[in-house]
Amino acid sequence: MNILVIKSSVFSDGGNSSTLVNAKVEALKAEHPEATIVERDLGANPIPHLDGDRVGAFFTPADQRSAEQQQVDDFSMTLIDELKAADQVVLGLPMYNFGIPSQLKSWIDHVARAGITFRYTENGSIGLIDDKPVTVLAARGGLYAGTENDTVTPYIKLFFSFVGITDLHFVFAEGLNMGDDIKAKALEEAKAAIS
């Protein structure tokens, strides 16, 4: 079994979402000791944000790319291959100012590529990645789940379904900035849900 682990906290392993990710990974390793873990810590090793040069590299035919453009494409394909090869994905997802972390957006921007992970048809888009379980461990300072202020959950569902993955499972730890007691209870409940 191949497990892709994506941590997107700016605090790397010090983030609340990363704490939950580590708990989930330990549970998976206990269940599947033979599992191969591929970890992308986007806080420790940020992915460059898209700019005109990077997008230009994606759209330049392979036989016309410069060496620098090929490096950009190779990096993007590495991320895509990691997602394709995974039997299961574990995603740590903090909410920052009503959105996903910008480093996670950079990962998405390098993975969502027309003709590679999705394609357009006259009936709409079709995802090209095989469906697989994705556990989303969502950490928030306030209380947002199920409200109109939760822009993160629908966005993540939309992205993964766009590339073909619909088997998403969310675990929420909320109210983490609303006092120590609330934080401890929320993390304890999330870890119980994980195990």
Beta strand pairing status for 118-121 and 124-127? Answer: antiparallel
Q: What is the CATH number of domain 2-194?
A: 3.40.50.360
Transcribe 86-100 into DSSP letters: -SEEEEEEE-BTTB-
User: Can you say whether the dihedral through the CA atoms of 153, 80, 110, 20 is positive or negative?
Assistant: positive
Residue 102 scores a pLDDT above 90? yes
Orientation angle between helical segments 102-111 and 67-85, nearest 10 degrees: 100
Instruction: Give me the residue spans of the domains in the chain.
Output: 2-194
The reported pLDDT for the residue numbered 142 is 96
- Read off the pTM: 0.95
Confidence of residue 195 (pLDDT cuts 50, 70, 90): confident
Question: What's the token pair of residue 122?
Answer: 């006259």
